[in-house]
Amino acid sequence: MSDHLVGISDMHISDRPDETIVTYSLGSCIGITAFDPVRKIGGMIHYMLPSSTIAPDKARVKPAMFADTGVPLLLNKLLSMGAAKGRLVIKVAGGAQLMDDKNVFNIGERNIVMLRKILWANSLLIKGQHVGENFARTLRLEIGTGRVTVKCIHGEIEL
C-alpha cells in the first residue's frame, strides 16, 4: 500500500487499488472523500474556505482552496474517469471550531453548510461524517476497498 498526501487546498483522484489517500490537520477545513464502489475510483479534497468570492484570483490558481470551486471540480474529475454520480459514496470530516472561541468567523460551520448546499444541488447525500466540535482530524480513503477512516484525539473510527 502506498499513501498519497493531500495537502491543504489540494485534491487527488485515483483508481489504483494499492493507494490510500490521506490528509492531515483538518481543523475548520473540510476533507471530502467520494468513491465509486463499482469502478473503484475515488478522490479526496481538503478545502479551507466556503466561497471563492473573497478571492477569485486565488480560486483560479487554487480551486481546491474553496468549496464552491473545489467540490464541483472533484466531482467532475471523478465522473470524467468513469465514476457514476449515482454510485458515489460521499464521506466528510473536519469543520471544527478552532481558535475562534467567540464564534466570530464560524469558518468550520460555514464550510459544512456550503458543502451540504453543493451536494444537495448535485443530488448527492453524505453517507458518513465526523464534523464539528473543537479538534483536528486525519482522513484516509483506501481506494481498493473504499474504506474511510477518521483519526482524532478520541481514536480512530471508520465512517
Pick the catalytic residue: 29, 48, 49, 92?
29
Q: What is the pTM of this model?
A: 0.93
Phi, psi torsion values for 98, nearest 5 degrees: -115, 145
* Residues contacting 56, CB < 8 A, separation 6+: none
Say whether 29 is catalytic: yes
Q: Which domains does the chain have, with CATH numbers?
A: 2-153 (3.30.1330.200)
Residue ranges in the chain modelled with pLDDT below 70: 98-105
pLDDT of residue 151: 98
